[in-house]
Amino acid sequence: MDSLRRRLRSPKLVPIVVVLLVSHLRAATSACTTYAGFTAVQDVDHYGDDIAQANTIDEAARLCAASPSCRAFNSNSFYKTNASYSPASGYCFWVKNANCPAFVGFNARANFDHKGDDLLSLGAMASLQHAAQTCSLEAQCRGFNSYAQLKTNVTTAQASLGNCLHTKAAIACPYYPGYRETPNQYRSGDTIATVGPIQEGVQRCTADPTCKGFVFTGTGASAAQPLSSSVLKSNVTGAVGVPAGVVGACLYVKNSPCPASVGFWTSPNTDHWGDALGAPTNATLAIAASKCKANATCKGLNNRSPAPALFSTVRGTYTATNVCLYTKSAACPGFAGFVATPDADHYGDDLLTAANATAAFKECTARAGSCKSFSSAGRLMSGVAGGTHFRQNVCLYVRAACARPAGWCNGTGLLFEATDCDGDGIKDLVCTSLNDGSRGAISLARNCSATSAGTGWPSAPDSYCPAKWEPPGGWIQVGSNPPSLPRSPPPRPSPRPPSPAPAPGDAYQGCYTDNINRGLPYILANNDATLTRSKCARLARERGMTVYGLQIGFQCWAGTDLTRATARGASTACNTPCRGNTSEMCGGDMVTSLFTVRDPPALARTCYNDSSARMLPYWLPAPDSASDSTMTNAKREQMALNAGYFVYGTQYGGYCFAGNNVTLAVSLGTSSACTTACRGNPATEICGGAYANSISLVNGDAYQGCYADNVNRALPYILANSDATLTRSKCARLAREREKTVYGLQIGFQCWAGTNLTRAMARGASAACTTPCQGNAAEMCGGDMTNSLFTVRDPPALVRTCYNDSSARMLPYWLPAPNSASDSSMTNAKCEQMALSAGYFVYGTQYGGYCFAGNNVTLAVSLGTSSACTTICRGNEADICGGAYANSISLVNGHAVLRPS
């Protein structure tokens, strides 16, 4: 239109333009002409984004069809790069029909888009191949659109002419070492053989040097039919989408060996086409990599023979068997007082955005109290809690921890620790006197001040290091040991059955090679002289990680992608002792002792004696003291939660008592009198007995309150929608499974989650959380655009519980095998370590020197509680290790016996 207006101002063109304009308007007032490959929309137009103006509408249609960047044209013959439109009476607008290109691992929907939930916009000049590659690398990315906008959510697709919505494929292709798996990809031809299940495909292809990969497929009438056949291929290039008649397919490409090159991250069986800077004559990979590093325009190279090719960009890749693509890591200039991590960024916690890295450094330095990190893209952040993520060619700068002043916390009886006190992801310095309990802390929050006022010494308040000193809400640590009593006669342990395969859990995955691109991207501890496996496990849990590894004796790394963590292959070099426990191995130099996290199942409720003095002093619901005919354990938990108590018990079928003192609640010892059925659920639940409480703890997740929401979503991830069975505990479980730290329930049937509590509360408090949960009408699940908001926290370990054993062994595996003698160095910690190493997650010590283990909690506690755990551990006189046919039972990593079931 701007062009038309300019022509109308030119006297020489007036007659021609007026005729053209009139003819166009006449055409537009009637039905819009049909053009092959376009959809006509009447009475709309788009202003701007013009490529050019053609002489006629027919020519505009032809030119737009031939131009990859053209998305639409109008009845004034302007063809454009943008297909969005708005009302314009009398005009026709032709939108190019979506021709959605196929991308590995994505499904395309033509003429659809998803509004909002943008994770990252790569810009108009970015190729869709680059969008697909970036989305594949970003765990939070669920898809992208034709404008190269990456999305965290693509569930609510909307009709959008000319656009394509590419959604990450849902099919799950299991990982196998030595192969790169891609869902929804198929390769016809070049078949060597068709074999059976996927394991056979892996074995046969690995053993056959002519096999370059295989397709694992299923055939049948429905997508529910499982995949069944492995088709071995001598060539896997040129893969396409799944053809008709094939239910699903996973393409497995055998990895080519990619030697590591410092300063580059590798992609096996991958290459880039075009953008070549040349191929150094007779150059080895090392020489080519050196030349690429010296050339600022070089962004990567391959290892093709006879000479590697250097590239000015590596955006846009394709599968190339036995070729490795090397992408240059970001070069991070130094900034005083900050530690740089190449190819890394952190989502959330934004303060502001500066023009560049230098400006961000100046702004962050000026905001010492609030700014803890910045990126080379200019983003200033208040912390890095929750970890970082891979982002190519971006440097993340984290403020260096406070330096330890000379002589600080060096006296006799003083314990020095480096602890993240305030959850900003940066270590603070803590000093504690083991003699009189004096304490103090040096932190960035107080500008690294080492004065008495700055550290709080000798009586620093809890707020100076809340992560260490504030008691966790909803749970309480109980650490008292039972008194020493005379030893009982030794038991006669039965022979140990053969060990089963290790159960899933906090499972040791093996020893794996690492490199500078890091199989586990987040470092949780470095140069830690107290590092142990259990400490690394705790750090990983605190940050919501599902995979962790120990390296070179003093480093703890973590992540959420086991495939990435094991991708560099197995190693035998995990032979460096942990600095904090030399009996454990903590990886080696660039090799990782790798573990996966799983919280073990909750154990049974425990029965404890009560008296007329009431060990749980608060009777609910107050002031009603009558027995409740609808009483269940779930109901009493909700009453305790609403009243602000975190330990509760049911008694004699219909009574509910609560309090906040666990020590008092269990002080009269265990009871066998919890035999009364709950009046509200007599078929399946027990609610205590006469002067006996069935005791549990309220769920450790903290209720933050009721908060307003809007269409931009305070919690960006929807985990359940229109769920007729939704309860608070179900939403909590979904949040944990997806590693979210904040969750909210909305309108009775929706579960939302995220990781940023500040964002979740930013829209202000509300009083509208009045909608009952559809799965439990006794609980409130928010309201219309209001969230019942909770934060996730796993509880600490509670007291060990003593359970009866017999000669049949309720914990059937005797450790260490084949040794059957009583161990003079036995402790509960030693038994835990042996159980972990053998692959069990429930263990018990017995009669001071025996260790038993298993994976069946129900069996372990089936003979009921015992009062016979009175025998001192032979390796630690301050601890109790069971008794005669009585096990002191715990779960690996200290999870509680006394935990809600």
DSSP 520-565: S-EEEESS-TT--HHHHHHHHHHTT-SEEEEETTTEEEEES-HHHH
Residues in a beta bridge with 594: 510, 549
Tokens of residue 551, six digits? 């390296």
Residues 6+ positions from 381 with CB-CB distance below 8 Å: 346, 348, 349, 350, 351, 371, 372, 373, 374, 375
Q: Please tell me whether residue 398 adopts helix, strand or coil conformation.
A: strand
Amino acid at 388: T
Residues in a beta bridge with 319: 270
Query: What pLDDT, on a 0 to 100 scale, did the predictor assign at position 515?
Result: 80
pLDDT band per the 50, 70, 90 thresholds, residue 822: confident
pLDDT band per the 50, 70, 90 thresholds, residue 602: very low
Which whole number is the average pLDDT over 508-535?
82
pLDDT band per the 50, 70, 90 thresholds, residue 73: very high
Query: What pLDDT, on a 0 to 100 scale, did the predictor assign at position 28?
Result: 39
- The answer to whether 635 and 684 have CB atoms below 8 angstroms apart is no
- CA atoms of 541 and 56, how far apart (whole Å): 65
Query: What pLDDT, on a 0 to 100 scale, did the predictor assign at position 407?
Result: 82
Query: What pLDDT, on a 0 to 100 scale, did the predictor assign at position 3?
Result: 41
- CA atoms of 190 and 229, how far apart (whole Å): 16
pLDDT at 90 over 80: yes
pLDDT at 549 over 90: yes
Residues in a beta bridge with 720: 751
Q: What is the mean pLDDT of the chain?
A: 75
- The answer to whether 181 and 173 have CB atoms below 8 angstroms apart is yes
- CA atoms of 363 and 353, how far apart (whole Å): 9
Tell me which architecture the domain covering 179-254 has in CATH: 3-Layer(bba) Sandwich (3.50)
Choose the most confident range, by mean pLDDT, from 34-43, 128-137, 457-466.
34-43
SS (H, E, C) 596-627: ECCCCCCCCCEEEECCCCCCCCEEECCCCCCC
DSSP 377-389: TSEEES--TT--E
Which whole number is the average pLDDT over 712-716?
82
Which whole number is the average pLDDT over 745-766?
87
Q: Which helix (H) or strand (E) holds 107?
A: strand 106-113
Which candidate, 98, 10, 20, places its Cα nearest to that of 53? 20
pLDDT tens string 303-321: 887 778 898 887 666 767 7
Q: Would the pTM of this model clear 0.85, i.e. be above it?
A: no
- The answer to whether 140 and 117 have CB atoms below 8 angstroms apart is no
Query: What pLDDT, on a 0 to 100 scale, did the predictor assign at position 873?
Result: 84
Query: What pLDDT, on a 0 to 100 scale, did the predictor assign at position 663?
Result: 60
- The answer to whether 142 and 152 have CB atoms below 8 angstroms apart is yes
Residues in a beta bridge with 788: 706, 745
Helices (H), 176-233: 198-207
Higher pLDDT, 577 or 183: 577
pLDDT tens string 225-262: 445 678 899 988 776 666 655 656 788 888 767 776 77
Query: What pLDDT, on a 0 to 100 scale, did the predictor assign at position 374?
Result: 92
Which candidate, 889, 853, 715, 855, places its Cα nearest to that of 786? 715
pLDDT at 396 over 70: yes
CA 699 to chain centre: 21
Backbone angles phi, psi at 745, to 5 degrees: -110, 140
pLDDT band per the 50, 70, 90 thresholds, residue 192: very high
Which whole number is the average pLDDT over 698-726?
79
Q: Note if the bond before 472 is cis, omega within 30 degrees.
A: no
Asked if CATH classification 3.50.4 holds for the domain at 106-168, the reply, yes or no, is yes
- The answer to whether 633 and 661 have CB atoms below 8 angstroms apart is no
- The answer to whether 525 and 556 have CB atoms below 8 angstroms apart is yes
Geometric angle at alpha carbon 146, from 245 and 84, rounded to 5°: 120
Query: What pLDDT, on a 0 to 100 scale, did the predictor assign at position 512?
Result: 92
pLDDT at 27 over 70: no
Tokens of residue 48, six digits? 């701007």
- The answer to whether 493 and 820 have CB atoms below 8 angstroms apart is yes
Tokens of residue 237, six digits? 């290039």
Greatest alpha-carbon span in the chain: 116
pLDDT at 745 over 90: yes
pLDDT at 70 over 60: yes
Higher pLDDT, 232 or 497: 232
Amino acid at 676: T
Which candidate, 845, 823, 825, 822, places its Cα nearest to that of 835? 845
- The answer to whether 901 and 822 have CB atoms below 8 angstroms apart is no
Asked if CATH classification 3.50.4 holds for the domain at 2-96, the reply, yes or no, is yes
Buried b (16+ CB within 10 A) or exposed e, 83-113: bbbeebeebbbbbbebebeebbbbbbbebbb
CA 205 to chain centre: 32
Q: Report the percentage of the chain scoring pLDDT > 90.
A: 5
Q: Which CATH class is domain 264-328?
A: alpha beta
Tokens of residue 853, six digits? 């283990």
Which whole number is the average pLDDT over 352-370?
85
Q: Please tell me whether residue 205 adopts helix, strand or coil conformation.
A: helix
- CA atoms of 517 and 324, how far apart (whole Å): 15
pLDDT at 485 over 70: no
Which candidate, 663, 677, 665, places its Cα nearest to that of 607? 665
824-to-170, 585, 837 alpha-carbon distances in Å = 54, 23, 20
Tell me the helix, strand and coil percentages in the chain, rounded to 5.
15, 35, 50
CA 771 to chain centre: 30
- The answer to whether 234 and 208 have CB atoms below 8 angstroms apart is no
pLDDT at 878 over 50: yes
Residues 6+ positions from 878 with CB-CB distance below 8 Å: 481
Among 422-426, 582-586, 795-799, which stretch is predicted with the lowest mean pLDDT? 795-799
Tell the residue number behind the tokens 């819009």, with chain if given: 32
Q: Please tell me whether residue 163 adopts helix, strand or coil conformation.
A: strand
pLDDT at 185 over 90: no
Geometric angle at alpha carbon 783, from 779 and 786, rounded to 5°: 115
Backbone angles phi, psi at 900, to 5 degrees: -55, 135
